[in-house]
Structure formats: C-alpha cells, structure tokens
Amino acid sequence: MKEGNLEAPERQPIPWREPEYLAHDALYKELERVFDVCHGCRRCVSLCDSFPTLFDLVDESPTLEVDGVAKSDYMKVVEQCFLCDLCAETKCPYLPPHAWAIDFPHLMLRAKAYRFKAGETKWRDRLITSTDPVFGLLSKPGVRQLVNAARGSKALRKAGKAIGIHEDGPLPRFDKPYSKTAPHSAQATSIVPTDRTTGKVAIFVTCYGEHNEHAIVDDLVAVLAHNGIEVRLLADARCCGMPKLELGDLDTVAKLKDRNLSTLLGAIDAGYDLVAPVPSCVLMYKQELPLMFPEDASLARVKAAFFDPFEYLMLRQRAGLVKTEFPHSLGKVAYHVACHQRVQNIGAKTREFLSLIPGTEVTAIERCSGHDGTYAVKSETYAKAMKIARPVVNRVREAEADHYGSDCPMAGRMIQHGLGHDASQSEHPISMVRKAYGI
C-alpha cells in the first residue's frame, strides 16, 4: 500500500439516504478506522481542534493507540469539526482515489447526522442554525433595535450565557431585510457573453446579506454593473442550507434545496449566471449539495452556473471585459482567504483581482479565522475559536495594512474582534474594489 497519493482528490457522493449511513456499529467502525490513520499521520494537527482532541485522547490512553480510546469519547472529536473541508482539500493524502478512501469532514458530517437523528443535538444549536425564521424575527422593526443594543450591553450579553452564547462572542448587527429595501436589478446597455459567462448575474443574497451586512451586496452590485454586467437579485431565495449541514440536519438541507431550486433554475433559464457574496453558500451549490444529490440533473445545472464573485470577475477579465482603470490605490491589503473559498479549487482569484489595482500590495493569509457559522459564539468553543484565530490576527497586525478583510464576512468580523478596540473595520474585498473604482 503506497503511503501517499499524488493524484487529484475526488470527493465522493454522500450516501446519506442509505440505511447503513446512520447505523451505530457501521459508523463507529469507520470512525475507528479513520482515527487510526489520522493518528499515524498527524498532518492536520494545526487546522482545527478536532485533531488535537483526537491525538490527546490517543496519547492519554493506556495503549497509546486508537484502540485504547473509549468509543464514548469519539464524539468529542466530532464536536470540534465545523466542516471547513481544509483537511480533505489541502492536507490529506488519503482521499479517493487512494485505496484508504478517507474523507474526514464527510465522516464528521455522518457522525453529526447520527447525533441529530438520535436527538443528541442541543436545542440552542437547532435554534441558531434556523437562519430564515430566526434572522427574520431579529430583523423586524423594534426587535432589531433591541438586539443591536443588546450587543453592546455587558449585562444582557451575560444573560445570553443561559442559552450557551458566550458573552464576548462576535455577534452580527441586524438590519431590515435587504430584499424589501433594495432595487432588484441593474440593467446593462450591452450584454457581452464569454465562453463561460453570460454577462448577466443573479445574486443569491444569502441570509447574511439579507439581514446583516447590506453593504456587501450593494458593493457587489455596483462592481458588477460598473463592468457592464446586468444584475438581478434573487429576493425570494431561502437559506443555502450550510448551517443545517453543519448541524447534521440533512433532511432540512434537502428541503431548503427543493425550495430554492425553482428560483435558481428560473434565473438560469432567463440567461443569468449565479453568484453569492458568501463563500459557504457558493460551496453548498458547487460541492455539498451535488454530492448529496449526485443524480439530480437540475442541481447539476445550478452547480455549473454558480460562481464565486472574483472567479466570475477574473473570467470576464481574461476576456478583456473588466475595467482596469482604478482611480484609487488600496495601499497595503491584508487579505484573509476564506476556508470555504479555498476548497472550491478555483485558485487565488480574489488576490489576482486585487493585484490588478495599481499601487496595491496584497498579503494573503491562508489560515482559518476560527469563526465558523456558530463555533465562535458558543460558550464552550469561543476560547478555542480565539486560539485558532490568533495566527490570522497576528498576521493582520504585522502587515500594518491600510485595509484588511476576508471573502467571508464572518471571518472578517472575527479578525476585527481579535484585533480588539482599535477602531479598525474589516472590509469585504468586493467593498475594497468598489473604493478603488471610486464608484
């Protein structure tokens, strides 16, 4: 058996509807097999707390091997995984086509789905991953003002500990729903397609863009329109399903997919490509949902039409269709590469685009920010999230940058949180580009 693998990894379909997928004995047998390989390799120790947790369990066991670890402790490893996919896509030499066929994050997903079905998931986690109803409620008039005020109240933040929300966790601000206030389209005078782009973009606004940071969507619309791209907002789309995927609630993921599919297909049929400003949402339609539903031809159409914003812009730039006159330099930029963008295997498109701006020096930081969707706000994982974020925060400090931020707005907020009260503000790279264009 060869030790490693130099072939490109092939993520396999997720057999989540097969009876054995949630069978206790089959799951624990596979966990033991994979944990044993990971113990012998230990390449991923620096990525997240799943691996240190596993290795500590092994090193403290009577046999110093996985067979000495109590199976009742296996879920301690699972609890620390937030499905960033970095171990599979950037570190592990044992993914298929290697004969060992290890896909650690998708095994963690299987374990999370087992726990969810067994009723072992906390009520708090079911609540805070229900983004459509919860964010909708918190965005209502009167409610959002109270919620935003509570973010700055030490007394109210301490009260949040009652449901397991850390008093120092980096919580977002809430605003009125974006789809109720923003214009739903930006027309182009002349639409020019390329071999891979139509020149028309329908924006999947995302829960975050809808309820928390409208400016990111505004800036994306402005940059696309400035480059002659017709824009339309998908105001009737629901959550992409990533929060529920991370919870292991795969039935709800399937329902959200079904509710969004007609909206997305309608945009494609009208000649639009699909773009979302949050990498996790793009990844859901590029990878996770297609692996859950490999037989779904309609979903395959959505996958082929879905792009990261800077992936899309660089495709247009290579065809000579992007404006490269930037009146303003950005100076030094400390740019955090979001995990869910890295694992899309599209290359460093954001950095490439930022580097087109004259007088701009980009420092790319390829480490996890530690936020995850909910990991950084939960009482039991906040300290670990801060530990994971520390190297990124230190790199931003050392860069002494004029601008810093991430394609993932939550990661950007985590970095800002880690920097403390220095009055600096994280910026999405698309917002930096809008500044450089002066539009």
Read off the pLDDT of residues 34-53 as tens digits, 9 standing for 90 and up: 999 999 999 998 888 999 99
Torsion of CA 65, 66, 72, 74, to 10 degrees: 130
Q: What is the mean pLDDT of residues 405-417?
A: 94
Residue 5 has pLDDT above 80, yes or no: no
210-228: b (≥16 Cβ within 10 Å) or e: bbbbbbbbbbbbbbbbbbb
Average pLDDT over residues 191-199: 94
Contact present, 68 and 58 (Cβ < 8 Å): yes
- How far is it, in rounded angstroms, from Cα 73 to Cα 69? 7
Q: Where are the alpha helices (DSSP H) in 152-305?
A: 154-159, 206-211, 214-226, 242-247, 250-269, 279-283, 289-292, 297-305
pLDDT in tens, 257-283: 999 999 999 999 999 999 999 999 999
Pairwise CA distance, residues 38 & 102, whole Å: 9
Residue 437 CB neighbour total at 10 angstroms? 18
Taking residues 302-325, report their average pLDDT: 97
- Please give the Cα distance from 271 to 233 (Å, whole number): 14
Look-up of token digits 């529920």: 244
The two tokens of residue 309 are 């914003």
Between 183 and 91, residue with greater pLDDT? 91
Question: Of 40-44, 149-153, 212-216, which range is least confident?
Answer: 149-153
Average pLDDT over residues 341-356: 93
The whole-number pLDDT of residue 78 equals 95
**In the β-sheet with 185-186, what is the strand arrangement from edge to edge?**
185-186, 230-233, 200-203, 273-275, 306-307
Give yes or no for residue 2 having a pLDDT over 70. Answer: no
Place of tokens 């991430």: 406
Least confident of 2-11, 331-340, 423-432: 2-11
Mean pLDDT (whole number) for 220-237: 93
| pLDDT for the residue 303 | 97
pLDDT of residue 1: 45
Residues 414 and 170 sit within 8 Å (Cβ to Cβ): yes
Task: Note the pTM of the prediction, 2 decimals.
Answer: 0.92
Q: Is the pLDDT of residue 217 over 50?
A: yes
Return mean pLDDT, the chain. 92
